[in-house]
Amino acid sequence: MKKFEAVDYFNLNSLLSEDEILVQESVRSFVEAEVIPIIEDSYQEAKFPFQLIPKLAELGVFGMTLPEKYGCAGMNNLAYGLVNQELERGDSGLRSFLSVQSSLVMYPIFTFGSEEQRMKWLPKLASAGAIGCFGLTEPDYGSNPGGMITKAEKVDGGFLLNGAKMWITNGTIADIAIVWAKLDGIVKGFIVEKEFKGFSAPEMKKKHSLRASITSELVFEDVFVPEDNLLPEASGLKSPLMCLNQARYSIAWGVTGSMMACYDSALQYAKTRIQFNKPIASYQLTQDKLVNMLTEITKTQLLNFQLAKLKDSGKIKHTQISLAKRNNVEKALEIARIAREILGASGITSEYPIMRHANNLESVKTYEGTHEMHTLIIGEDITGFNAF
Ligand code: TGC
Ligand code: FAD
């Protein structure tokens, strides 16, 4: 099979700085050399490829937009976006790991934590010496996290935590969990360490999607959390929602990588698959499919570039991130389905990455706010009517 060539129909790479190109190329080479050869087996065997994590840490991608003082790379959001795109070209599960560690664990510690908490945890998380997870969703509160019933109660020297979280990426392997719970009816954030008594994180199995990623429950039974582990600056639902903005941003970029993987597979296959004595790429119906795929990828790239510019200039609105997450995931799923069609029966096998990406994208469409939630978020923004 011909070497992968990234889609760049509008020459967006010409807008990148040398540092951004370097980061993009180093992650692309990593994916080519270390991820592609093993990921289908990991997926089939439902095993998270943990051996890749120290190597990713060496590339400096965890919390890469945070300051160097905390062991992070201090890069911009455009570079972070590109890294998400390259990683998800490998697998959405790896991009999920990056999103959770960087956007949902390091970001809240940096934004809502004390200086002691930052110095204690951020360098460890950047080097993957510690793994984190983020517990917001509960069995009965998914799209409506404001209804959460996990509860913290003030006791001498700290808090007692009771309740449960569900569908938590990396839960079982995490050293710390950023847990959102109500204290006197107000949402607060806590750093729960894996050895705290009464805390467990059983893995959720039998998934058809994101099989190369760990998903877990978090259970809290009278877990004592010391005062020092409360995130002092987090208060109200707005705090976890601010974290979601970061992760949704990384998804908007990431799924462009999934699209590229599916498009590239379909294009290469169509050029070499002969039916009725001609390559199927020579038929107008196939060309129509490929051109539509290329057009949608290019549109998501343009959206992502402007999203990065808005984020780096501090002018981004969370509704703009919703629009990009909603659009890009939907288009990625459409592209995966069309790519599978182009490969005919071969499209259903693990010899090609398409069905893996398609199955992963079903989760990506649901997590970090479902497609419908983002419709309602944008709908409220443009009409002024809350339709939740
Ligand atoms: P609502 O009253 O609208 O908002 C409460 C306060 O928050 C403000 N706000 C935001 N602030 C920052 N960023 C955002 N995105 C914000 N959205 C709202 C809002 O202005 C308000 O502020 P204030 O000052 O008035 O208090 O809250 P609501 O209860 O009506 O909920 C609104 C809704 C539906 C948008 C929200 O709850 C939502 O986004 N639901 C979707 C839930 C979700 O996305 N869960 C994700 C869980 S984590 C995950 O899936 C990780 S996957 C990880 C991986 O990549 O593997
Ligand atoms: P529900 O909220 O029950 O929704 C079910 C359906 O109803 C959806 O189609 C939804 O759009 C629709 N719906 C709901 N309300 C409305 C309405 N008002 N109007 C119209 N339609 C509506 N969560 C975390 O906290 N941390 C994680 O690390 C994490 N990782 C995840 C990993 C995976 C693999 C998956 C699948 C999920 C993960 N999640 C995580 C949970 C994820 O965020 C939730 O699944 C998501 O927010 C949706 O919640 P739900 O599944 O309970 O669906």
What's the CA-to-centroid distance between 269 and ligand 1, angstroms?
A: 42
Inform me whether the pLDDT recorded for 125 exceeds 60: yes
What is the per-residue pLDDT for 1?
56
Residue from 20, 88, 138, 368 carrying the catalytic annotation: 368
Nearest to 373 by CA among 211, 103, 106, 141: 141
Looking at the structure, do residues 186 and 278 belong to the same domain, yes or no?
no
Total domains, the chain:
3
What is the pTM assigned to this prediction? 0.98
User: Is the CB of 380 within 6 Å of ligand 2?
Assistant: no
Q: What angle do CA 21, 16, 122 make, to 5 degrees?
A: 65
What is the per-residue pLDDT for 2?
63
Average pLDDT across the chain, whole number? 97
Residue 120 domain boundaries:
12-126
- Give the chain's length: 388
User: Is the CB of 205 within 6 Å of ligand 1?
Assistant: no
| Residue 343 near residue 275 (C-beta atoms within 8 A) | no
* Closest atom of ligand 1 relative to the 99 alpha carbon: 55
| Any domain includes 345 | yes
Looking at the structure, do residues 77 and 182 belong to the same domain, yes or no?
no
Q: What is the mean pLDDT of residues 4-28?
A: 95
What's the CA-to-centroid distance between 386 and ligand 2, angstroms?
A: 19
What is the per-residue pLDDT for 171?
98
Inform me whether the pLDDT recorded for 183 exceeds 90: yes
pLDDT tens digits, residue range 26-84? 999 999 999 999 999 999 999 999 999 999 999 999 999 999 999 999 999 999 999 99
Looking at the structure, do residues 267 and 152 belong to the same domain, yes or no?
no
Inform me whether the pLDDT recorded for 22 exceeds 90: yes
| Any domain includes 3 | no
Q: Is the dihedral of CA 47, 52, 57, 63 positive or negative?
A: negative
The pair of structure tokens assigned to 36 is 């592609």
Looking at the structure, do residues 101 and 184 belong to the same domain, yes or no?
no
For residue 207, give the ligand nearest its CA. 2
Looking at the structure, do residues 151 and 34 belong to the same domain, yes or no?
no
Nearest to 63 by CA among 137, 136, 132, 117: 132
pLDDT tens digits, residue range 132-177? 999 999 999 999 999 999 999 999 999 999 999 999 999 999 999 9
Looking at the structure, do residues 267 and 330 belong to the same domain, yes or no?
yes
What is the DSSP secondary-structure string of 29-70? HHIIIIIHHHHHHHHHTT---GGGHHHHHHTT-TTTTS-GGG
Burial (CB count within 10 angstroms: exposed 0-12, middle 13-18, buried 19+), residue 197: exposed
What's the CA-to-centroid distance between 330 and ligand 2, angstroms?
A: 16
* Closest atom of ligand 1 relative to the 247 alpha carbon: 55
For residue 301, the domain's CATH number is 1.20.140.10
What's the CA-to-centroid distance between 18 and ligand 1, angstroms?
A: 36
User: Is the CB of 56 within 6 Å of ligand 2?
Assistant: no
φ/ψ of 217, rounded to 5, equals -95, 155
- For residues 88 and 268, give the distance between their C-alpha atoms in angstroms, rounded to a whole number: 20
pLDDT tens digits, residue range 184-204? 999 999 999 999 999 999 999
Q: Best mutation site among 322, 365, 370 for ligand 2, i.e. most ligand atoms within 8 A of its Cβ?
A: 370
| Residue 48 near residue 42 (C-beta atoms within 8 A) | yes
Inform me whether the pLDDT recorded for 4 exceeds 90: no
Q: What is the mean pLDDT of residues 79-106?
A: 98
Inform me whether the pLDDT recorded for 371 exceeds 90: yes
* Closest atom of ligand 2 relative to the 388 alpha carbon: 18
| Any domain includes 33 | yes
Boundary of a domain, candidates 79, 104, 126:
126
Share of the chain above pLDDT 70, in %: 99
| Any domain includes 331 | yes
Boundary of a domain, candidates 93, 126, 159:
126
Q: What is the mean pLDDT of residues 305-310?
A: 98
For residue 118, the domain's CATH number is 1.10.540.10
> Is 368 designated active site?
yes
CA dihedral 242, 246, 252, 256 (to 10 degrees): -170
The pair of structure tokens assigned to 267 is 């294009």
- For residues 248 and 189, give the distance between their C-alpha atoms in angstroms, rounded to a whole number: 19
What is the per-residue pLDDT for 5?
81
